[in-house]
């Protein structure tokens, strides 16, 4: 699946492969240096509440861009189409996952509002450049994500807890990982929790709620960052009548650079 | 009007005087160290568009807090009532200023959404502490504000240009004033323009669109910061059917501290 051709592909080429259905995998490690984004699509009726939710929970939901109702072409990535250019989508009804698809053209309506939310994949290159190795990338897996008991600030009909992504980091590197990511508030910023997964409601690190588990070595601790999958969990807990999201790990790859 | 009793009053006491109609002046220099906020109130129908406008124009509209529809008590300032606790309000219809009042209880509706927007008054104490004197405060006037030709990024039905506040700063102090305010993005951040008022559509500094003119000395330049009165000008240019705002310079004084 992962060929050198795709690995070195620019963002537009990766999106084109998604559009034709030829790329349907996780996007971590692809189109290096490009901002990747979580996607949340809600009917206009809930758009104010959700925008307010993002404004109140900027660590989980740092906004990259919000599109006007009905629009599918982000300003930051001209020519892209949010209905086709992600590797995978999830359709939720009343908070329940109904379907996973690779194209949402059939579900599109003029009252749908798309939110692009920053993604931790954008800070991974900063970490690896600093010599902090990331196991899920080395093992070509999706990052491990967990539902937590950390409450979000509610907004209108959006109420719930946050989702975190986890990366094992060596004890000697943790402070540096904090410093590096703290400088990037537009992509979740500093970790929300370090070590002690039980304290935030994670019973078993080997069984992530989204993505793939990775091993944690003796000289490492699990480090948790706020995650843009949070809206999916909040939609579930809030029993939101309708929304469309990306599949966790299968992001929208923008034309914007990480800096 | 300005007595020592009021000058040294905490924020809650100043709001109480507003509530009873005993304080109706500009709030600059009062309740030192407290965050002051611009107010914009729009019907729920336009709330998503306006929240998006703020998100796209964070220098003009840095959000302090957004309240749920119908709510009048900010989370950040429990016990306050946005309908009564400002010194003055403006009622706009179809973009036209219809009335100035000191209490909007009679206009309140359950579908109104209140936005509190950061205000440059919050950075003025940082400037004066650094030894940068502010003439409008020394002369107990309202700060001078001007409509400009600097376009905002449009959002839905909000389209228009920004309003700036102006403070004369000595040439030797301008770089320091930039550095100090750049560190405070939650209250407009660094200046948007320095010198050359004509370049941003200001014909005559002696005739501000809002607030009071101040003299500019030979060793000074006019320094312009983005201003939270921008929504009023944008509402005017967009012919917004209905909104309520504060009177420029007559802010909501919160319980939150500037740092």
3-state secondary structure string across A235-253:
HHHHCCCEEEEECCCCCEE
ipTM: 0.75
Q: A-chain residues within 8 Å CB-CB of B52?
A: 51, 66, 68
What does the longest C-alpha to C-alpha distance in chain B come to? 52
Q: Which range, of A48-52, A88-92, B33-37, B77-81, averages the lowest pLDDT?
A: B33-37
Structure tokens at A169: 């980091």
Which of A42, A43, A47, A48 should be substituted to probe chain B, the one whose Cβ sees the most B Cβ atoms within 10 Å?
A: A48
Of A9-18, A160-169, B130-139, highest mean pLDDT: A160-169
Rounded to an integer, the average pLDDT of A70-78 is 96
d(CA A138, CA A210): 18
Residue A158 pairs with which residues in a beta bridge?
A155
Instruction: Give CATH for domain B123-231.
Output: 3.30.2040.10
Residue A208: its pLDDT value, please? Answer: 97
d(CA A75, CA A59): 23
Structure tokens at A14: 């990766």
Higher pLDDT, A12 or A121: A12
Contact B47 A44 (CB under 8 A): no
Residue B165 pairs with which residues in a beta bridge?
B145, B225
In angstroms, the separation between the Cα of residue A241 and the nearest Cα of chain B is 19
Which of A52, A57, A76 should be substituted to probe chain B, the one whose Cβ sees the most B Cβ atoms within 10 Å?
A: A52
Minimal Cβ distance to A66: which of B52, B63, B113? B52
pLDDT at A87 over 80: yes
- From-to residues of CATH 3.40.1640.10 in chain B: 4-120+236-257
- From-to residues of CATH 3.30.2040.10 in chain A: 123-231
Domain B4-120+236-257 coded CATH 3.40.50.510: no
pLDDT at A103 over 90: yes
State the residue for tokens 């796209």: B56
Q: What is the b/e burial string over B100-122, where b = at least 16 CB atoms within 10 angstroms of the residue's CB?
A: eebbbeeeeeeebbbbbbbbbbb
Residue A32: its pLDDT value, please? Answer: 81
Residue B186's contacts (CB-CB under 8 Å, 6 or more residues apart) are: B62, B64, B118, B122
Which chain A residue lies closest to B44 (C-alpha atoms)?
A: A48
Contact A63 B55 (CB under 8 A): yes
d(CA A241, CA A43): 9
Cα atoms in the 13 Å half-sphere on the side-chain side of A107 = 24
Mean pLDDT (chain B) is 92
Instruction: Output B10-17 pairs: Cβ under 8 A, ≥24 positions apart.
Output: B10/B34, B11/B77, B11/B253, B11/B254, B11/B255, B12/B79, B12/B80, B12/B255, B14/B253, B15/B80, B15/B85, B15/B253
Contact B55 A68 (CB under 8 A): no
Q: What is the b/e burial string over A123-145, where b = at least 16 CB atoms within 10 angstroms of the residue's CB?
A: bbbbbeeeebebbbbeeebbbbb
d(CA B88, CA B101): 6
Report residue B4's pLDDT band, with 50, 70 and 90 as the boundaries. very low
Residue B2: its pLDDT value, please? Answer: 43
Residue B32: its pLDDT value, please? Answer: 81
User: A241: phi > 0 → left, psi -120 to 50 → alpha, else beta; which?
Assistant: alpha
Q: E strands of A44-111, at which residues?
A: 63-66, 89-93, 96-101
Contact B48 A156 (CB under 8 A): no
d(CA B45, CA B154): 17
Report residue B9's pLDDT band, with 50, 70 and 90 as the boundaries. low
DSSP A96-129: EEEEEES--GGG--TTEEEEEEE-THHHHHHHHH
Contact B44 A48 (CB under 8 A): yes
d(CA A76, CA A70): 16
Q: How far apart are the first and last CA of chain A?
A: 29
Residue A118 pairs with which residues in a beta bridge?
A37
d(CA B196, CA B208): 15
**Contact call for residues B222 and B166 (beta carbons, < 8 A):** yes
Contact B55 A51 (CB under 8 A): yes
Q: Which range, of A23-27, A146-150, B32-36, B92-96, averages the lowest pLDDT?
A: B32-36
Structural class in CATH, domain A4-120+238-257: alpha beta
d(CA B208, CA B143): 9
Q: pLDDT tens-digit profile of B135-190?
A: 998 888 899 999 999 999 999 999 999 999 999 999 999 999 999 999 888 888 99
Using a CB–CB cut-off of 8 Å, the residues of A that contact B are 44, 47-48, 51-52, 55, 63, 66, 68, 113, 155-156
Q: Which helix (H) or strand (E) holds A230?
A: helix A230-238
Residue B7: its pLDDT value, please? Answer: 47
- From-to residues of CATH 3.40.1640.10 in chain A: 4-120+238-257
Report residue B246's pLDDT band, with 50, 70 and 90 as the boundaries. very high
């Amino acid at each position: 699946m992962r060929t050198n051709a795709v690995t070195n592909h620019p963002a537009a080429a990766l999106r084109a492969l998604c559009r034709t259905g030829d790329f349907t995998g996780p996007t971590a490690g692809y189109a290096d240096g490009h901002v990747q984004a979580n996607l949340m699509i809600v009917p206009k009726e809930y758009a104010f509440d959700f925008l307010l939710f993002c404004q109140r929970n900027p660590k989980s939901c740092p906004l990259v861009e919000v599109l006007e109702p009905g629009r599918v072409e982000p300003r930051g990535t001209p020519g892209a189409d949010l209905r086709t250019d992600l590797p995978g989508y999830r359709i939720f009804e009343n908070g329940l996952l109904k379907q996973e698809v690779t194209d949402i053209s059939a579900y599109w309506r003029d009252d749908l509002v798309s939110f692009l939310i920053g993604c931790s994949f954008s800070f991974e290159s900063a970490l690896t450049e600093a010599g902090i190795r990331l196991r899920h990338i080395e093992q070509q897996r999706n990052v491990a994500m967990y539902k937590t008991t950390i409450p979000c600030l509610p907004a209108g009909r959006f109420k719930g807890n946050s989702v975190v992504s986890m990366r094992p980091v060596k004890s000697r590197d943790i402070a540096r990982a904090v410093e590096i990511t703290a400088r990037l508030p537009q992509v979740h910023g500093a970790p929300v929790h370090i070590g002690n997964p039980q304290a935030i409601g994670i019973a078993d690190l080997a069984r992530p709620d989204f993505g793939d588990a990775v091993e944690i070595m003796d000289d490492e601790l699990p480090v948790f960052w706020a995650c843009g999958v949070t809206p999916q969990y909040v939609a579930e807990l809030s029993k939101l009548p309708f929304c469309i999201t990306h599949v966790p790990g299968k992001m929208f790859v923008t034309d914007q650079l990480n800096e």
